[in-house]
Amino acid sequence: MTRATVPAARTVDALAALCGILAVVLSFGGFMLIGSAGFAVPPGASSDVIAKVAAREAPPLAFLGLSLDILGSLAFLLFAARLWGTLRRAEADPGWLSTAAFGAALLALAASFVDKTLYHAVFTQAGHGLEAGTAAVLYAAIAASFSLFNAFVGLYLGLAAVIVLRTGVLPRWLRWLGIVVLVVAVVGVLLPASGLGFVAFPLVLVWLASASLLLLRRPLAA
């Protein structure tokens, strides 16, 4: 890499690292807007609640929230690839842990797009003949995809924690936070009625924002 290209490469590294914070802000903000629009139905909601949601049209606020959440997921993809670069360089050959971590991030991303697709189906059909029973099935599938997201993102952070433990590439407190997320996410999947999945999610956001800030100080370009 020539001297002329190093500053540009470091700028790209920094932007990709910043995507961790963007993912947190966009996804959290998007979900808050969906909730404000009255379409974030909690798991186990009564049939009456779901029927009321299905009977009214989704406001523009709900679609805006969904759009922000999609942008947040795209930012997460760039951040995950950026973190993979750091973990892969620290791990050295054969590098299977960092590769497995990136694969888990991709699976989490795929699970997140399932619930976005289902939310879009609810938003477009609500108030236009969407039956309460069908809406209940869609929301149940949304909850299931959220559980899958928690499981995969927990695996992602857990594998990253192992690499941090072995290499010290990032502060060790980030390792412990990753392990906590993994444990909470797994228990939340095994015991869905516990509601631990909703505990894991804010911890994931804290981990992503923290790792994003740390990566801003560690450019890949040399």
Question: Residue 117: is its pLDDT beyond 70?
Answer: yes
- 222 part of a folded domain: no
Look at residue 3 in the predicted model and tell me its pLDDT. Answer: 54
- 1 part of a folded domain: no
Question: Residue 222: is its pLDDT beyond 70?
Answer: no
- What would the pLDDT profile of 126-171 be if each residue is shown by its tens digit? 999 999 999 999 999 998 898 899 889 999 999 999 999 999 888 8
- 220 part of a folded domain: no
- 116 part of a folded domain: yes
Q: How many CB atoms lie within 10 A of CB 46?
A: 10
Q: pLDDT class for 217, splitting at 50, 70, 90?
A: confident
To the nearest whole number, what is the mean pLDDT of the chain?
90
Q: What's the predicted TM-score (pTM) here?
A: 0.90
Q: How far, in Å, CA of 5 to CA of 204, rounded?
A: 34
CB 132 within 8 A of CB 51: yes
Place of tokens 């516990």: 194
What is the rounded average pLDDT of the residues 56-79? Answer: 96
Number of domains observed in the structure of the chain: 1
- What would the pLDDT profile of 26-67 be if each residue is shown by its tens digit? 999 999 999 999 999 988 888 899 999 999 999 999 999 999
- Using CB atoms within 10 Å of the CB of residue 163, give its burial: 0 to 12 exposed, 13 to 18 middle, 19+ buried: buried
Look at residue 6 in the predicted model and tell me its pLDDT. Answer: 64
- 221 part of a folded domain: no
Domain hosting 59: range is 6-215
Name, in order, each residue with C-beta under 8 angstroms of 196's C-beta and a sequence gap of 6 or more. Answer: 184, 185, 187, 188
* Distance between first and last Cα of the chain: 8
